[in-house]
Structure formats: C-alpha cells, structure tokens
Amino acid sequence: MRASAILTAAGSGTRLGSADPKALVRLGADPLVVHAARRLRAAGIEEIVVTCPSGRDDDIARAVAEVSARCVPGGASRQASVAAGLAALGPDADVVLVHDAARPLASPALIGRLLERLAAGDRAVIPGLAVIDTIKRVSGGVVSQTLDRTELVAVQTPQAFARDLLVEVHAAGAALAAAESTAVSDDAGLVERFSDVAVSVVAGEDQAMKITTRVDLALAEAMLASGQWS
C-alpha cells in the first residue's frame, strides 16, 4: 500500500479575517500549511500535493519547500481544489489522504490509524469525535427538533480513501464543485452520495481541531506552545 496526500490550502480564510490566505497565517513560527505538511511527512507520506490560493502559489511553494511538497492551483470550492490535487498526483499511490491545512495539528498517530484501516481492507475511513454540544434543528428561528447526540459525530481530516474510489466519486460529483454552495464539504460526502461503499469512522482527536476563527487560532497557539500536542 502506498499513500499520497492532497493538502488543501486554497481557501481565503474569510472567517479568520486575516490579510493573508488562512494557510499562510502563522501558528508559532510557521504557517498553518507547514505544520500540516510536516505531520503528513512524519507519518511517512512521501507525495504531498498542496492546493494553492490564486496568486499565492510561490508563497506556498516556498513555505512547504522543506517537506518538498508540490503545489497546484486550487479551485472555486474545496471540492474543486481536491479534484485538482487528485488530477496532479503521480501514478504510484493506491491510497490517498485528503487533509486540510486548516487542521495544522492533526497527529501522525491519527494518520496511522486511518492507514491501518485501509490496509485492513476498508476503502473510505474518516476521523470522528463525539459531539459535545446539544444540536437542534431550527426553522424560522424556532426549534423544530433536538437531534439524538449519541448518533452524531463531528468529522475531521485527514480522510483516507482507496484512490480508485476517490477518483470515481469526484468524477461523479464534479458538477457540484463549481461553487461552495453546491459542493460537498468533505470527501466522504461524495462517497456517500455517489457510491455504495461504506465510510468507516475511527477515533478523531482534539488536536485535529479546525482553525476557522481567531478563537481557534488562539487555542492552537496555546496547544502548540504547551508542547503537549506536537
């Protein structure tokens, strides 16, 4: 089994509100994308393709040079960016991890758990964490339903797939990718919609948290500085 990774970094980071694209925002001494790429490398992933925001390919390429990742232009949605990354992979890999630069602290151990399940024969594996908040469905400002939290998981990246499956479902769902409003928000979503393959869930981890807002960045800074979540 040989694994490659697509590292999505082409988003603008609107909700973070920084001048630079989110992947280039610093966490400690290094941009988010570098933290994520290093951890993929530490988990033994040889080929890493990074999707880049338009006009910032050179900045991303310089940032990830130390892990010799390759850069490709991203697309109009995360889904389109992953499709572009997938098209740019070399021929060798038979499994593909899709990971977000917005989750810079996801650990090599988590990547190891995903790869283990693929090696055991699963074709789509994602990390999930039990939902902490009570989740309600709201319509017109009024609660219509409280969901059963015991059935829910919050899903993270990296997500791991048999390469042929990922290629097949991205082709099948390509029409959705033109805008974030129609696109799927994770790759497992394409597997669910366009294949009969079961998506397995392994234990996620707090440190694979996504950086969306300033609060998330402050928390990640504290985590990194503590040295407990490297």
Residue 117 binding result from ligand CTP, Mg ion, none, given CB thresholds of 5 to 8 Å by partner type: none
Q: Identify the residue among 102, 118, 125, 223 touching ligand CTP (CB under 6 A).
A: 102
When asked if residue 158 is in the footprint of ligand CTP (CB under 6 A), the reply is: no
Candidate residues 15, 62, 136, 214; the one interacting with ligand CTP per rule CB under 6 A: 15
Applying CB under 6 A, does 100 fall inside the site for ligand CTP? yes
Q: At 27, list the tokens.
A: 């966490």
Least distance from C-beta 106 to ligand CTP, angstroms?
11
Instruction: Give the tokens for residue 60.
Output: 């991303």
Q: How far is the CB of 78 from ligand CTP (least distance, A)?
A: 4
Residues in 43-72 that interact with ligand CTP by CB under 6 A: 51
Map the footprint of Mg ion across residues 4-33, applying CB under 5 A: 11
Residues 162-191 within binding reach of ligand CTP (CB under 6 A) = none
User: Is residue 156 part of the contact set for ligand CTP (CB under 6 A)?
Assistant: no
Least distance from ligand CTP to the Cβ atom of residue 75, Å:
6
Binds ligand CTP by CB under 6 A, chosen from 8, 159, 200, 207 = 8
Residue ranges binding ligand CTP (CB under 6 A): 8-15, 22-23, 51, 74-75, 77-78, 81, 100-102, 210, 212
